[in-house]
């Protein structure tokens, strides 16, 4: 078999974190009863007109600046016409001729090898609604809540050559967008969706092969699997002496395979033309500069600051800043308890472990910095020991409980009453003469046994230091 | 401001201004005025069929409310307090059906008012109902209405023009004091001309399009139709104004159109495009237009002919651009959400196909097909882009003309009203009738049509005055002066 090279470009749809929709005042909040987050404008009732949400332009410009794009200071919207029941106007307001950002790129790092992935363009558009099939009545219903939620589509150049590069690009993009605050990038809720354009060619060939477009990729893992699957499929087709058909394919992650949706021949003619209901967008130099000035600290800057300001190791800083949500949580918690290393440990060890266990993304961490700070304070005050703290943290993680009241309610506070503790130890020492003897015969391990018995009797709520001290005293 | 009513035919209703003055003076009750109007409609509409929906109960109820408000001292500054008005049926009225004269929207009740409706109500106007039009405003005769044709009050065998034929005929027949129409390529001016009334197509961006069911978004504009220039100026003053809900709405310095009701054109420079007097123009129309120019000249205007040589290109460019936008604007009528839905279908494709085949009339389908074609891949540059370039050239041509002239004068239409059925069979001929009106929409300019005599058949002839962008007051002043001094 010949050697092949995989060529990949991505179209990433990102839902912007504006409070209201792109052309009306409806909320963009996820969920809600069907058709409760819409109005005559976003459902395209006859006679209604769009009014552009300026925040959408600001977010698109921020994304463009952070990905080194040139901002189109005189851009406009176009209509993309097609019939589908989830698209109430039968056209999507998008940008074809003059997208807001062009010619950018971001640097990725795969196993120490750095590479720039070009960004062809970023354009603004509106989301469509969603069809829901009612099995019971055998009919299809439509929910327009998502209609008009602002999106940006980030179109990369065909610069990626492997699934690793694709994932690195997506991770980087996601971090940039999260740090900018322009999107929460939750793949499960569809606020970040990627379509993969992939072709293969013989190693060293200068022309690109025929590409396919893969849709319905709902996680980074699915993307990696889909790339591998499609690469193999295309090579097989070519090796078999056949030609790749330019088509759109739908990835089925459960079946680990893709299916052809439509070929180029039945591709729709979208009959794009300038949207006459909106005026061209003029971005002044002054406003562009304003947005530039407002750009927040991105990851690399944040990492450097953490090492310097909080005196935490590079490893910690890298892990914490790998998610904007975790970094925000870190800073907020440190601001309360002033113990950076302690906070960093809880986030890096226990939080990461629990995320894995619950198969959650860092974006979905739900506990508050206040509660983590309280937990840390309880440990510092000697009110609970670390073993108990880990148990309490699991509940903080899942239910965001207040650790102070929780430990009180559950009776987990450490017994710092020396009298009661001494009494328990005296009983244990009396009940275990063999261990006492062993200790005096030089078997120091025996002391550990007595400490363990004490802790057991105290149900873990005693200060290990104090137990040690009393056991030692009694043994002497 | 002095009103002259001498010119009005006997039996025609009084002007909006005189009427609201009378109402406010307590000489007549709003309810009586509205009741009388409804009686006229009942009597005359069997003949002319101007209305699609008459708001009998609502109008009387509203009349009583307005009367109470007037009695309480409201509407002191409104020229429309208690004035009955008819609304073209492509302007959304909350909870009241708005059909666009189409089977597609036969029972469509918008959940909101158009901005102009809110403004009219805030001024104390009383809406009588919704008037007939060409389906989705596509046509020049009101013959493409799903609800049947409207007849010209000056001769029932003649069309009233279109697409705002119901609005113009209602005013002419005394079935409304004033009316709102919409103008995409002449749809206010041409029926005003055919029906012997006055209509203004304002500068694009002057009146909010929010709630106007779109035909061609970049060209559509709502405007008034009335018996006099003063009535039209008064209605325009009420409905014009910046609206944040319409991104193409342009704030302007002054909306005081009635301040331009001044009988004076001394020193005004008026240009007549030579091309507007050439081939295709009926001789009697030409004579009337030149006579009107003479009247203005006698009042001190400087009138001269000049070359505006892009006239021929306006019609093809208009039909490409308007049809392209229409094909997109009307795609939403698919049977899924509101409006007509075919009773039997097996698949989504069939739902779309049958709903749209059955719900739209022939002229609408023709324009949507033209529009889809000119936007399609491979033809976009040859048609749509080229038409956009023509549009830019037309605008430049007018810009140059307005460096020399305050107002451009010409006919509104090449002919007087046509016989019913005469043009329907030949759409190209019908399209050519828009020759003097469409370029005004392409350039976004204001224009007014007002009566300037009749032909030998007794049919009215319309004089068109075109102004520079936001020069709406210029044309109102020249039109008013002509109206006051025209002795024929």
How far apart are the C-alpha atoms of A101 and A300, rounded to whole Å? 23
Q: What is the pLDDT of residue A441?
A: 85
How far apart are the C-alpha atoms of B82 and A303, rounded to whole Å? 71
Who among A43, A79, A85 is closest to B348 (CB)?
Answer: A85
Q: In the predicted model, is pLDDT for residue A468 greater than 50?
A: yes
Told to judge if B187 belongs to the known catalytic residues of this protein, a careful annotator would answer yes
**In this complex, do A273 and B380 lie within 8 Å of one another by their Cβ atoms?**
yes
Two tokens, residue A30: 């996820």
Q: Check the CA dihedral A44-A45-A46-A47 and report its sign.
A: negative
Helix axis angle, A445-457 to A433-440, nearest 10°: 150
Tell how far CA A240 is from the center of its chain. Answer: 40
Q: What is the pLDDT of residue B10?
A: 44
Q: What is the pLDDT of residue B301?
A: 98
Q: What is the pLDDT of residue B297?
A: 97
Q: In the predicted model, is pLDDT for residue B14 greater than 90?
A: no
In chain A the domains, ranked by start, together with CATH numbers, are: 4-287 (no CATH), 297-409 (no CATH), 418-475 (1.10.10.410)
**In this complex, do B111 and A45 lie within 8 Å of one another by their Cβ atoms?**
yes
User: Mean pLDDT across the stretch B341-364?
Assistant: 96
How far apart are the C-alpha atoms of B91 and B76, rounded to whole Å? 27
User: Does A94 touch chain B if contact means CB atoms closer than 8 Å?
Assistant: no
User: Mean pLDDT across the stretch A133-154?
Assistant: 93
In this structure, the number of other CB atoms found within 10 A of the CB of residue A443 comes to: 13
B194-239 pLDDT, tens digit per residue, is 999 999 999 999 999 999 999 999 999 999 999 999 999 999 999 9
Q: Which chain A residue shows the shortest CA-CA distance from B98?
A: A46
User: Does A73 touch chain B if contact means CB atoms closer than 8 Å?
Assistant: no
B182-192 pLDDT, tens digit per residue, is 999 999 999 99
Tell how far CA A443 is from the center of its chain. Answer: 53
Nearest to B210 by CA among A69, A45, A419: A45
How high is the mean pLDDT of chain A? Answer: 92
Q: What is the pLDDT of residue B7?
A: 32
How far apart are the C-alpha atoms of B239 and B241, rounded to whole Å? 7
User: Does A45 touch chain B if contact means CB atoms closer than 8 Å?
Assistant: yes
Q: What is the pLDDT of residue A287?
A: 97
Residue numbers in A near B334 (CB within 8 A): 83, 85, 90
Tell me the percentage of chain A whose pLDDT exceeds 70.
99
Q: What is the pLDDT of residue A39?
A: 97
Who among A45, A276, A278 is closest to B110 (CB)?
Answer: A45
Residue numbers in A near B98 (CB within 8 A): 46-47
Q: In the predicted model, is pLDDT for residue B1 greater than 80?
A: no
Q: In the predicted model, is pLDDT for residue A436 greater than 90?
A: no
Nearest to B201 by CA among B354, B48, B351, B88: B88
User: Does A276 touch chain B if contact means CB atoms closer than 8 Å?
Assistant: yes
Two tokens, residue B29: 């009750």
Tell me the percentage of chain B whose pLDDT exceeds 90.
91
Find the catalytic residue in B78, B88, B102, B193: B88
B167-179 pLDDT, tens digit per residue, is 999 999 999 999 9
Residue numbers in A near B247 (CB within 8 A): 49-52, 277-279
* Confidence bin at A265 (pLDDT 50/70/90): low
Classify each residue of A412-431 as buried b or exposed e, where b means 16 or more C-beta atoms within 10 Å of its C-beta: bebeeeeeebbebbeebbee
How high is the mean pLDDT of chain B? Answer: 94
Q: In the predicted model, is pLDDT for residue B2 greater than 50?
A: no
How far apart are the C-alpha atoms of B133 and B117, rounded to whole Å? 18
User: Mean pLDDT across the stretch A52-59?
Assistant: 98
* Confidence bin at A454 (pLDDT 50/70/90): confident
Q: What is the pLDDT of residue B195?
A: 98
Q: Check the CA dihedral A355-A358-A359-A365 and report its sign.
A: negative
A354-411 pLDDT, tens digit per residue, is 999 998 888 889 999 999 999 999 998 888 888 889 999 999 999 999 999 998 888 7
**In this complex, do B214 and A40 lie within 8 Å of one another by their Cβ atoms?**
no
**In this complex, do A85 and B377 lie within 8 Å of one another by their Cβ atoms?**
no
**In this complex, do B328 and A52 lie within 8 Å of one another by their Cβ atoms?**
no
Residue numbers in B near A46 (CB within 8 A): 92, 98, 100, 105, 108, 110, 213-214, 332
- Residues 148-207 of chain A with CB under 8 A from chain B are none
Do B295 and B484 form a contact (C-beta atoms < 8 A)? no
Beta bridge partners of B84: B126
Who among B110, B328, B352 is closest to A79 (CB)?
Answer: B328
Classify each residue of B259-283 as buried b or exposed e, where b means 16 or more C-beta atoms within 10 Å of its C-beta: ebbeeebeebebbbbebbeeeebee
Two tokens, residue B375: 């936007």
User: Does A265 touch chain B if contact means CB atoms closer than 8 Å?
Assistant: no
User: Mean pLDDT across the stretch B108-121?
Assistant: 98
Nearest to A77 by CA among A63, A62, A56: A56
Q: In the predicted model, is pLDDT for residue B482 greater than 90?
A: yes
Beta carbon pairs, A and B, within 8 Å: 97
Residue numbers in B near A45 (CB within 8 A): 110-112, 338
**In this complex, do A43 and B337 lie within 8 Å of one another by their Cβ atoms?**
yes
* Interface residue of A276, A279, A280, A282 to substitute, partner B, most B CBs within 10 Å: A276
Who among B98, B214, B336 is closest to A85 (CB)?
Answer: B336
User: Mean pLDDT across the stretch B374-401?
Assistant: 95
**In this complex, do B247 and A52 lie within 8 Å of one another by their Cβ atoms?**
yes
**In this complex, do B332 and A272 lie within 8 Å of one another by their Cβ atoms?**
no
List all residues 6 or more positions away from A184 whose beta carbon is below 8 Å from its beta carbon: A17, A178, A191, A363
**pTM score over 0.90:** no
Q: In the predicted model, is pLDDT for residue B6 greater than 60?
A: no
In this structure, the number of other CB atoms found within 10 A of the CB of residue B208 comes to: 25
Two tokens, residue B328: 């997109």
* Confidence bin at A267 (pLDDT 50/70/90): confident
Domain residue limits, chain B: 1-488
User: Does A269 touch chain B if contact means CB atoms closer than 8 Å?
Assistant: yes
The B-side interface with A (CB below 8 A) comprises 91-92, 98, 100, 105, 108, 110-112, 114, 209-214, 216-218, 244-248, 324-325, 327-328, 331-332, 334, 336-338, 348, 352, 372, 375-377, 380, 384
* Interface residue of B247, B352, B369 to substitute, partner A, most A CBs within 10 Å: B247
**In this complex, do A276 and B244 lie within 8 Å of one another by their Cβ atoms?**
no
Instruction: For residue B279, give Cα distances in angstroms to B69, B283, B455.
Output: 55, 10, 18
How far apart are the C-alpha atoms of B139 and B364, rounded to whole Å? 9
Q: What is the pLDDT of residue B12?
A: 47
How far apart are the C-alpha atoms of A461 and A16, rounded to whole Å? 48
Residue numbers in A near B353 (CB within 8 A): none
Q: What is the pLDDT of residue A89?
A: 97
Q: What is the pLDDT of residue B8?
A: 34
Q: Check the CA dihedral A356-A361-A363-A364 and report its sign.
A: negative
Residue numbers in B near A50 (CB within 8 A): 247
A70-94 pLDDT, tens digit per residue, is 999 999 999 999 999 999 999 999 9
**In this complex, do B375 and A279 lie within 8 Å of one another by their Cβ atoms?**
no
A419-428 pLDDT, tens digit per residue, is 778 888 888 8
Q: What is the pLDDT of residue A363?
A: 83
Matching CATH number, B1-488, of 3.90.1300.10, 3.40.50.300, 3.20.20.70, 3.40.47.10: 3.90.1300.10
Q: What is the pLDDT of residue B340?
A: 97
How far apart are the C-alpha atoms of A162 and A117, rounded to whole Å? 12
Q: In the predicted model, is pLDDT for residue A186 greater than 90?
A: no
Q: In the predicted model, is pLDDT for residue A238 greater than 50?
A: yes
Find the catalytic residue in B78, B102, B140, B163: B163
Q: What is the pLDDT of residue A31?
A: 85
Backbone angles phi, psi at A352, to 5 degrees: -60, -40
**In this complex, do A81 and B92 lie within 8 Å of one another by their Cβ atoms?**
no
- What ipTM, to 2 d.p.? 0.94
Between A468 and A227, the more confident residue is A227
Q: In the predicted model, is pLDDT for residue A140 greater than 70?
A: yes
């Amino acid at each position: 078999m010949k050697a092949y090279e995989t060529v990949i470009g991505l179209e990433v749809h990102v839902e912007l974190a504006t409070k209201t929709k792109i052309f009306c005042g409806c909320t963009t909040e996820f969920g809600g009863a069907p058709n409760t987050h819409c109005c005559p404008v976003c459902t395209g009732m006859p006679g209604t007109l769009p009014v552009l949400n300026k925040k959408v332009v600001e977010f698109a410009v921020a994304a463009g600046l952070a990905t080194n794009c040139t901002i189109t200071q005189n851009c406009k919207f176009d209509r993309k016409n097609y019939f589908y029941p989830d698209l109430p106007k039968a056209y999507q307001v998008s940008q074809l001729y003059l997208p807001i950002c062009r010619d950018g790129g971001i640097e990725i790092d795969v196993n120490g090898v750095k590479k720039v992935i070009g960004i062809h363009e970023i354009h603004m558009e509106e989301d469509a609604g969603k069809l829901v099939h009612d099995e019971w009545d055998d009919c299809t219903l439509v929910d327009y809540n998502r209609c008009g939620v602002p999106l940006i589509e980030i179109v990369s150049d065909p610069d990626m050559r492997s699934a690793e590069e694709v994932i690195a690009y997506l991770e980087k993009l996601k971090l940039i967008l999260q740090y900018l605050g322009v999107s929460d990038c939750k793949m499960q809720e569809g606020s970040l969706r990627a379509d993969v354009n992939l072709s293969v060619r013989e190693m060293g060939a200068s022309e690109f092969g025929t590409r396919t477009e893969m849709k319905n990729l709902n996680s980074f893992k699915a993307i990696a699997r889909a790339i591998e699957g499609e690469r193999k499929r295309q090579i097989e087709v070519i090796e078999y002496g056949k030609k790749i058909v330019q088509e759109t394919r739908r990835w089925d992650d459960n079946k680990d395979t893709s299916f052809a949706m439509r070929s180029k021949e039945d591709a729709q003619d979208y009959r794009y033309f300038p949207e006459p209901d909106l005026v061209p967008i003029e971005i002044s130099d002054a406003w562009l500069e304003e947005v530039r000035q407002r750009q927040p600290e991105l990851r690399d800057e944040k990492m450097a600051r953490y090492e310097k300001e909080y005196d935490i190791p590079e490893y910690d800083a890298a892990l914490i800043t790998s998610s904007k949500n975790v970094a925000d949580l870190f800073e907020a918690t440190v601001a309360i308890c002033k113990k950076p290393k302690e906070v960093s440990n809880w986030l890096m060890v226990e939080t990461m472990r629990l995320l894995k266990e619950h198969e959650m993304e860092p974006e979905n961490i739900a506990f508050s910095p206040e509660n983590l700070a309280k937990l840390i304070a309880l440990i510092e005050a000697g009110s609970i020991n670390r073993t108990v703290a880990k148990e309490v943290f699991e509940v903080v993680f899942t239910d965001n409980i207040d650790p102070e009241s929780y430990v009180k309610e559950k009776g987990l506070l450490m017994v710092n009453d020396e009298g009661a503790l001494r009494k328990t130890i005296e009983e244990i020492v009396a009940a275990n003469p063999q261990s006492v003897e062993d200790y005096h015969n030089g078997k120091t391990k025996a002391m550990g046994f007595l400490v363990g018995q004490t802790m057991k009797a105290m149900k873990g709520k005693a200060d290990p230091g104090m137990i040690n001290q009393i056991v030692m005293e009694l043994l002497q | 401001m002095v009103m002259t009513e001498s010119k009005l035919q006997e039996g025609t209703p009084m002007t909006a201004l005189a009427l609201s003055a009378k109402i406010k003076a307590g000489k007549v009750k709003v309810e009586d005025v509205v009741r009388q109007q409804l009686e006229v409609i009942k009597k005359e509409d069997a003949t002319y069929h101007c209305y699609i929906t008459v708001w009998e109960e609502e109008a009387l109820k509203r009349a009583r409310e307005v009367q109470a408000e007037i009695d309480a001292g409201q509407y002191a500054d409104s020229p429309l307090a208690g004035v009955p008005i008819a609304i073209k049926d492509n302007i959304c009225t909350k909870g009241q059906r708005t059909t666009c004269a189409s089977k597609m929207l036969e029972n469509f009740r918008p959940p909101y008012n158009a901005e102009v409706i809110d403004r009219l109500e805030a001024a104390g106007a009383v809406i009588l109902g919704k008037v007939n039009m060409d389906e989705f405003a596509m046509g020049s005769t009101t013959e493409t209405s799903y609800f049947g044709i409207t007849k010209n009050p000056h001769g029932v065998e003649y069309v009233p023009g279109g697409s705002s034929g119901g609005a113009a005929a209602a005013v002419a027949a005394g079935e409304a004091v004033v009316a709102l129409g919409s103008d995409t390529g002449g749809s206010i001016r041409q029926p005003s001309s055919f029906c012997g009334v006055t209509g203004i197509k304002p500068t694009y961006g002057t009146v909010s399009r929010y709630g106007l069911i779109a035909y061609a978004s970049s060209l559509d504009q709502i405007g008034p139709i009335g018996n006099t220039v003063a009535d039209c100026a008064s209605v325009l003053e009420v409905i014009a104004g910046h609206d944040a809900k319409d991104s193409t709405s342009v704030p302007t310095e002054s909306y005081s159109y009635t301040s331009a009701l001044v009988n004076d054109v001394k020193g005004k420079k008026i240009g007549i495009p030579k091309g507007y007097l050439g081939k295709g123009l009926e001789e009697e129309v030409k004579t009337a237009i030149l006579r009107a120019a003479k009247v203005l000249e006698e009042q001190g205007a400087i009138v001269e002919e000049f070359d505006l040589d892009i006239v021929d290109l306006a019609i093809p460019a208009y039909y490409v651009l308007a049809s392209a936008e229409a094909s997109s604007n009307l795609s939403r009528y698919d049977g899924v959400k509101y409006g007509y839905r075919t009773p039997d279908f097996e698949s989504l494709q069939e739902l779309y196909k049958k709903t749209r085949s059955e719900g739209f009339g022939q002229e609408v389908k023709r324009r949507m097909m033209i529009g889809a074609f000119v936007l399609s891949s491979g033809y976009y540059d040859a048609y749509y882009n080229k038409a956009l370039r023509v549009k830019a050239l037309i605008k430049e041509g007018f810009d140059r003309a307005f460096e020399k002239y305050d107002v451009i004068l010409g006919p509104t239409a090449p002919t007087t009203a046509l016989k019913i059925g005469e043009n329907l069979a030949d759409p190209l001929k019908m399209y050519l009738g828009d020759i003097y009106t469409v370029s005004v929409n392409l350039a976004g300019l204001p224009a007014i049509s007002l009566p300037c005599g009749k032909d030998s058949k007794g049919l009215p002839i319309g004089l068109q005055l075109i102004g520079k962008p936001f020069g709406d007051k210029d044309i109102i002043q020249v039109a008013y002066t002509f109206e006051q001094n025209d002795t024929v």
